[in-house]
Chains A and B, each alone.
Chain A
Amino acid sequence: MNSISFTGVSVRVAVDGSPTPKTLLHEFSLELTERRIGVIGANGSGKSTLLRLVNGLVEPSAGRVMVHGGNTVEDVRRVRGKVGFVFTDPLSQLVMPTGREDVELSLRRSIKNSTARAARAEMVLERFGLLHLADQSIYELSGGERQLLALAAVLAVDPAVLVLDEPSTLLDLRNRELLRETVAGLDQQVMMSTHDLDLALDMDRVLVVESGRIVFDGGAAEGVAVYRALCAAPLQDAPSGDVSR
């Protein structure tokens, strides 16, 4: 029951001016039960599409995605209640002017009483060490603080699954480490795409995505090695004039 399963899933989209749709993800089946799942691959390989299937932001063109017993198409509201999603750019995710207000916004559905909601928001912010920043404008926060705040706002409703789409891309080393520690301490099942291979090595299971296909599924160290080999291949194959400047 506590798993994310993809059965015969593929994703295709129509392209303007082309009679044939473009395949973003070729057919695949997976059963994910591990607590920490990493997704690595080049830009445009299909990582984000794979993650967006998990909370129904993308619907499969064929097949079925089940998250903790809920179908992402038929039970999309229930699934979204179970899946928290953190985007690469926290500014596109934070809706309210301050952190406190954004966390309270997350809680509006579950806590109707404003006093209880404010108290719960304070607890959440304190848990993530963000209470001192609670009333600052989100524009005055650093990238790391914003990303942590986005994470806190999503975790405020206590989802069972947390999906993070390249959460460390815009962060410096210190904030990346802070994010890494925070994610490591979470109780939720975590599925994360990343270009940070150190972060990928923390995962229990790693999927390598290449040109819309899952080309590797297994342990973290092996997955990272496969990805490194994939990245190195075009450089080795390319004529020397292509890489010199």
Chain B
Amino acid sequence: MRGHGFLIANYVRGNSIIHRTPLLLKFLVVAACGAASFLIVDWAVSLAIFTTMCGLFIMTGAGPRRLLRAIWLVTPILLVIGLFQWWQLGAPTAARIVLNILVCVVAASVLTATTPVQDLLDGVVVLAKPFRRFGADPERFALTIAVMLRSIPFIAGAFSDVRDSARARGLERNPRALVLPVFITTVAYARQTGDALAARGLGEPEDGEPEDALMHG
């Protein structure tokens, strides 16, 4: 399987003020950026928030290259969305929508670059606690997110491998030769992951939850 680990926003060790900021505050900033994307009506405000988030990212010490990579990954989708909105609603609206999406991407990158995954999972467990009354298991919420993060590069890698195999057989223009093997590989991977999680006893109900997860920076 080809490596696609770069698709995961890895934690960057550091001691910046953002690294030390409590996780709850970082969660709230990401949530606020998401909510703001529905409320902001002026592209200039979106641009100002985007610039601020980029400034925060640079403050983490993760480097501008990492910032550009995070943006680069969503550029094709943003281009399609931007052009469509420009055609439908005009340039200011298209700019606002694209900038709002970028704000969310950069805010999420600030969170993942400055928070170890284990701390993120601990935070999710604490945030999911209220759902216990409905029978939900917070630890499973966290594990689901971990598996989701893990599956993105796997599926991307499976697609690359299948595409190369299809090219080698002259089938690169046949969508069935591309989609079906990726689908089968993904289902097999899901089964193997399920077995591995069960074998490690992960995702089973347990007592207690992590200590003070949301108050650590």
Contacts and interface: CB of A to CB of B under 8 A. Distances in A.
Q: Are A and B interaction partners?
A: yes
A118 B195 contact: no
Nearest to B139: A108
Interface in A103-149: 104-106, 108-109, 112-114, 117-118, 135, 137-140
Contacts of B196: 85, 87, 92-93, 95
A97 B10 contact: yes
A101 B146 CA distance: 10
B146 A109 contact: no
B117 A101 contact: yes
B132 to A, nearest CB: 16
A113 B199 CA distance: 23
Contacts, number: 106
Nearest to B6: A137
Contacts of B153: 97, 139
Nearest to A116: B211
A108 B13 CA distance: 21
Given A92-B192, A112-B210, A113-B211, A97 B13 contact: no
B198 A57 contact: yes
A89 interface: yes
Contacts of B8: 97, 137
A42 to B, nearest CB: 22
B184 to A, nearest CB: 15
B199 A80 contact: yes
Contacts of B208: 112
A114 B192 contact: no
B94 to A, nearest CB: 34
Given A93-B196, A98-B10, A139-B153, A114 B119 contact: yes
A153 B199 CA distance: 12
Given A95-B193, A95-B196, A112-B210, A105 B146 contact: yes
Contacts of A44: none
Contact of B116 (A85, A101, A137): A101
Contacts of A93: 192, 196, 199-200
A177 B150 CA distance: 29
Contacts of B189: 92
Contacts of A113: 210-211
A154 B200 contact: yes
Contacts of A81: 201
7 contacts: A55-B199, A87-B192, A92-B196, A108-B210, A114-B213, A137-B8, A137-B10
Interface of A: 55, 57, 77, 80-81, 83-85, 87, 89, 91-98, 101, 104-106, 108-109, 112-114, 117-118, 135, 137-140, 153-154
Given A106-B200, A138-B5, 7 more contacts: A77-B201, A95-B147, A97-B150, A98-B10, A108-B118, A114-B210, A139-B4
